[in-house]
Structure 1
Amino acid sequence: MVYEMKKDMCPNCFLNEYTFNDNYITGICSNCGYTMASENISDRALRPKTKLNNGKYILGKKLGEGGFGITYKAVDLFNGGICCIKEYFPFTDSNRAKNSNFLVAKEDKRLEFEDGEEKFRREMSALNVLKGVDGVVQFRDQFSENGTLYYVMEYLEGWNLSRFIKIFKPTFAGVTEIILKVAKILMVMHEKSQPIYHRDISPENIYIADNKVYLIDFGNAKVIILDSDRRDKRLIFKPGFGAPEQAVYDAPQGAYTDVYGLASSYYYALTGLRIPSAVDRRNGAIYTSLCYIDKNIPREISDAVDRALQMDIHMRTGSVREFIEEICTTKRLNILPKFKIMYGPNAGREGRLNADKNYIIGRETCDIIINWCEISKRHVTIRYNSREKNFDVTDTSTNGTFVDGIKLEKGRTYKMYPATTLVLGDNVSRICLDASYLLN
C-alpha cells in the first residue's frame, strides 16, 4: 500500500498538520510543534517535499550539512517509514544548476568531484557489506538522480558522544561501557574475511539512540582486499583523533588505526580534552595520561589507553580485541553480567546473570526460555567467568549457534566478551550477552 502524503506535510513528523507560506519559513506543526523558522536554511539543500527515486521518497527537514554531502530526514512513500537520505554534494567542487536540483561539477574541480564520488560509493559499499551488524546504522537503498548519488539508511534520533557527555555527564563506568560497545562493533568489522576499517573513529561518529550505541559515517571506511598491496592516495586525518599514519601519504593502515581513534575518543569522553594532533605530537607535543588527570581512573586503564595511543604502530596495541581484553581485565573494574533478548520470541526480556554459574538457554525447562521452533530444548550454555571477565559459550543444539555469521562448533567452549550477540538456530532469535561496569 502506498503511503498517501497530503499538501500540508510537516518536514519533521510528516503528519499533514503543517501550515506554511510559499518559502516554508513561517508556520508551525500542530502535532509536534516544529517550525522551520528556527532552522539554518541552506541555499544548497533540497527543499522539503522534494520527491526522489521516481516518487518513492519525499524529503523533510535537513539534518546536517558537511563538506561532502547533505543529510535529510525523509519518508518512504511506499510504507510510510521514516528514514535518512544522504546526498553527495561537495559544495567546494560543485553547484546546483540555476533553478534546478541538478548538480554540476565546477570546471576546475571535476577531478576532485569524481574522487569524492568514489569515496561516497565506498561509503555505500561498506554499509551494504555491514548490513545486519548490530550497532552499525543500517543501509536500505541507493540511487542516482539530479546528476549525483544518494543512499538511504535507517533514521536514528539521539546524540553523538560529544553531545551525550555534555548533556548526561556519564560516569567513568558509563563511558567505558559505551567505548567497549564501539570496540565490539569494530571487532566484528575487522575480523571479517575481508576486513573493514572505519578510519574515522571520533566522538562525532559514535552515536547513542534508544539506549543503544551506534557507529556512523563510513565515508572513510575501507574494505581491504586480501593479497592486495594497494594504498589509499588520499589523506584522511582528523586532528586529535586521527592516527599518525593517516597524516602520511601512502602509509599502511589497519586495525591499529581504528584502535588509535577509539582510544583518543575514550580519552576525550573521560576528560573533555583532545590529545594533541599526531602532527603536533611528532613535533614534541605531549598529553597527560588519564591517571594523572583523574586519580579515580584505574592505572591499568590509563596504561591501556597510553599503549593504544603509541605513535609507532609496532608499539601500539595491535587489535581492538586486544584493547578490549586490556580494559576488561582491569582489577578495579567490576563487571555485572546481564542478557537481553534482542529479536524474535520474548524480545525485550532482559535480566542479570550471576557470575560463575551455568545458564542453559533453550525451548523447555531451561534457565532462559525462548519458545521458538528453531530453538533446541537445551540450545546453548552460557557462563560468566569472573576471573577472566568474559563469557564461556557452549553450543549444544541441533540447528546451531552463530556469532558474527560464524557457526560455533557443537560442544566446544568459546570465550566471548560483553556485547556479544548470539544468533540461535536462525536469524530470528538473538540474545545479547552484555554487562554493566562499576569501579571497586
Structure 2
Amino acid sequence: MAWQPGEQLLNGKYTIESQLGQGGFGITYLARDDRNRPFAIKTLGRKARFTQELAQYKEEFLKEADCLSRCIHPSIVRLEEVIDTDSLCCMVLEYINGTPLAQLVRQKGRLSEREALFYTYQIGDALRLVHEQGFLHRDVKPMNIVLRQERSDAVLIDFGLAREFSQDGVDIHPKQGSRGFAPLEQYDLRALRGAYTDVYGLAATLYSLLTAKVPPSASARDRSWVKNQTDPLLPPKTLNQLVSDRVNSAILKGLALVPENRPQSIKSWLELLSDGASPFSPQPGEMTPASPEIASSVSAVGMDYTTLESLLAAGQWQEADRETEALMLRVAGREAEGRLNIEDVKHFPCRDLRTLDRLWTEYSNGHFGLSIQRQIWSESAEDYEQLSDRLGWRSDTEWVSYADLTFDITAPIGHLPSWGRRGRLWSFLATRLKKCSL
C-alpha cells in the first residue's frame, strides 16, 4: 500500500503530504518534518517490496544513497538521511521546489544558447565531482535536472541508475538508460565504462535544450550506420540556426557513437564549449557530425583483435578459429569457466560480434563469417540439423568431430568459425546476431 497524506514516519518525525512521483520500483513523496521543513522521501514501492529480488533492489537503493552521501555539490540534490529498518527503507532528500528542464522546454520551446550553457556548465561541474567519487550517473537528461524556483540554479536529481566505475575498466552494469540520452555502451551488460558515458548524456541534454528535440537513440543510430553507413542524428545547427559553430561541433563530438571518439572527461568536453580553451577545440564552420566509424571495427570491452586479424590474413584458418573461441570467452569474462552460458550469448556485445564477423568475412572474401551462418540459418527454416548439414558440421546424419572439420577455403560456405557447433546455444546466438543487424 502507498503511504497516504497525514501518515507519519519515525514516531512523527516526518508527515506525508502527497505523492510526487513513481518509477519502476520506487515512490517519492513530499513530506514535512517536525519543524515544518519540506523534504522528498524516496522509498521502495510495493512492486519492489513484494518480489523475490527484494534484497537486490534494497542493495541498489542503498548504493544510490551512498553515492549521494559522497557527492555533495550545490548542483546535486542533497541527502538528508537514510532510514533502514526491518519495515522501512527510504531516503530523505532535499525537496527542490522547481521546474524540470524538460518541462521548461515544453513550455518555452528551445532555449537560448546562453541560457542552455548556463545550466550545462552547472551540471557539468556536478558530474565532474560524481566521477571523482568513482560513480557514473548514467541517466543525465532534462527530466532529471530541476531549476530551483528561487534562483534558477540547475540541480541534478535521480541517482537511481548510478553505478561505481573505474575509468576504461570493464564493468557489469544493468542495460538501462533513457532513449535518446543513453550512449551505446549502456546497451551492453558488460562493457568499457568511463566518464565519456555521462559526456554523451550531457551533450544529448544540451542538444535537446537548444533544439527542443530528443536525439535519435544510440541503438537506432548504430543500426543505421551498420546497415547503410548513415547517421540519423541531425546537427543541432540544422534545427536551430542560432546555435554557434563552436557549440554545434562540441555537441556532435560529445554524441559520438564510439566511446573512444568522445571527449574522455566532462572537463575536456566543457572546454570544447568555451572559446579556445582546449587544443582540441573544433575549427569554425565545422557543421557535420564526425564519422561515428564503422561500429564493427571496435570492441565494447577494449578487446585486441590484432592476433585474429593476422591469422586470418595468413589463411591460418584453424588457428583463427581457436583464437575466435578464446576471444569470445575473454569478451564475456568466462576464461575461467571455459564456456559461455545462455545469458552470456544473449547479452554478447554487438560491437564485438560485428568485429568478429567483419574480420572473417573480409579475409575469406565472404566465404566464412557469423553473418553468413545466420543467413543460412534463416534459409534452413531455423532448423539446427539442416543448418549443420549445409555448413558441413554434420555428414550423413553424423556429427563431424572438430579434428575432421575443413580448415581451408574449400570448406562449405559458412563452415567457419565453428563456435556454433554447440547445439542449443546456436539459436540464442542467431537471435543475438539478428538483433545486432548481422
Partner of 1:110: 52
1:16-415 paired onto structure 2 within 5 Å:
44-77=1-34, 79-89=35-45, 91=47, 93-94=48-49, 105=50, 109-111=51-53, 113-131=54-72, 133-145=73-85, 147-169=87-109, 170-190=111-131, 192=132, 194-209=133-148, 210=150, 211-224=152-165, 231-284=171-224, 286-329=232-275
Work out whether residues 67 and 90 of structure 1, in 8 Å CA contact, stay in contact via their aligned partners in 2: no
Q: CA–CA distance in 1 between the matches of 2:219 and 2:252?
A: 17
SS of residue matched to 2:261: coil
In structure 2, relative to structure 1, the CA distance for the partners of 1:177 and 1:293 (3 Å cut) is same
The Cα shift of 1:129 comes to 0.7
- Cα distance change of structure 1 residues 208 and 313 upon mapping to structure 2, 3 Å threshold: same
User: Which is strand-richer, 1 or 2?
Assistant: 1
Q: How many corresponding residue pairs? A: 268
**TM-score scaled by structure 2?**
0.58
What one-letter code is carried by the residue in structure 1 that aligns with 2:153? K
SS in 2 for 1:110: coil
In 1, the alpha carbon distance for the partners of 2:36 and 2:196 equals 42
Rounded Cα–Cα distance in structure 2 between residues aligned with 1:313 and 1:254: 8
Change (3 A) 1:90 1:201: farther
| 288 and 225 in structure 1: CA distance in 2 versus 1, 3 angstrom threshold | closer
For residues 216 and 105 of structure 2, the distance between their equivalents in structure 1, rounded to whole angstroms, comes to 20
In structure 1, give the amino acid aligned to 2:136: Y
CA deviations over 1:60-88 (Å, ceiling 9, x no partner): 111111112111111111x2211111111
**Contact in 2 for aligned 1:52/1:145 (Cα 8 Å):** no
CA distance in 2, matches of 1:232, 1:53: 36
Q: What RMSD over aligned residues (CA atoms) do the two structures have, in Å?
A: 2.1
Q: Which moved more, 1:263-272 or 1:217-226?
A: 217-226
Pair 1:215–1:315, CA change in 2 (3 A): same
User: d(CA) in 2 for partners of 1:254 and 1:297?
Assistant: 28
Paired residues of 2:170 and 2:192 also in contact (CA < 8 A): no
The unaligned stretches of length 5 or more in structure 2 are 225-230, 278-438
Deviation at 1:189, TM superposition (A): 2.1
CA apart distance, 1:188: 2.2
Q: Distance in 1 between matches of 2:188 and 2:166?
A: 21
SS at match of 1:175: helix
Residue identity opposite 2:233 in structure 1:
Y
Question: Contact 2:169–2:194 at 8 Å: present in 1 too?
Answer: no
Distance in 1, matches of 2:212 and 2:8, equals 41
Deviation at 1:269, TM superposition (A): 1.0
| Farther off after superposition, 166-175 or 270-279 | 166-175
State whether residues 163 and 173 of structure 2, in contact with CA within 8 Å, keep that contact through their aligned partners in structure 1. Answer: no
Cα distance between partner residues in 2 of 1:55 and 1:231: 42
2: CA distance, partners of 1:301 / 1:317: 14
Q: Secondary structure at the match of 2:196?
A: helix
- Give 1:298's aligned amino acid: S
**Rg larger in 1 or in 2?**
2
* Alpha-carbon offset, residue 168 of structure 1: 4.0
Shift of 1:144: 2.6
Decide whether the 8 Å contact of 2:170 with 2:191 is kept in 1: no
Q: Tell me how far 1:296 sits from its aligned partner.
A: 2.0
* Unmatched tracts of structure 1, length 5 or more: 1-43, 95-104, 332-440
Quote the offset at 1:300 in angstroms.
1.8
Taking a change above 3 Å as real, the CA distance of residues 149 and 232 of structure 1, as seen in their structure-2 partners, is farther
* CA–CA distance in structure 2, aligned partners of residues 275 and 224 of structure 1: 26
Query: In 2, Cα distance between the equivalents of 1:187 and 1:329?
Result: 20
Distance 1:151 1:162, change over 3 A: same
Q: Which amino acid aligns with 2:29?
A: Y
Answer yes or no: is the 8 Å Cα contact 1:301–1:330 preserved in 2.
no
Q: For the structure 1 residues 224 and 233, does the alpha-carbon distance in structure 2 shift closer, same or farther, using more than 3 Å as the test? A: closer
Looking at structure 1, the residues matched to 25 and 192 of structure 2 have their Cα atoms a distance apart, in angstroms, of 24
Instruction: Tell me: CA distance 1:47–1:146, structure 2 relative to 1, closer, same or farther (3 Å).
Output: farther
Name the structure where helix makes up a greater proportion of residues: 2
Of 133-142 and 288-297, the range deviating more from structure 2 = 288-297
- How far the C-alpha of 1:245 sits from its partner, in A, is 0.2
**Cα distance in 1, alignment partners of residues 26 and 12 from structure 2:** 21
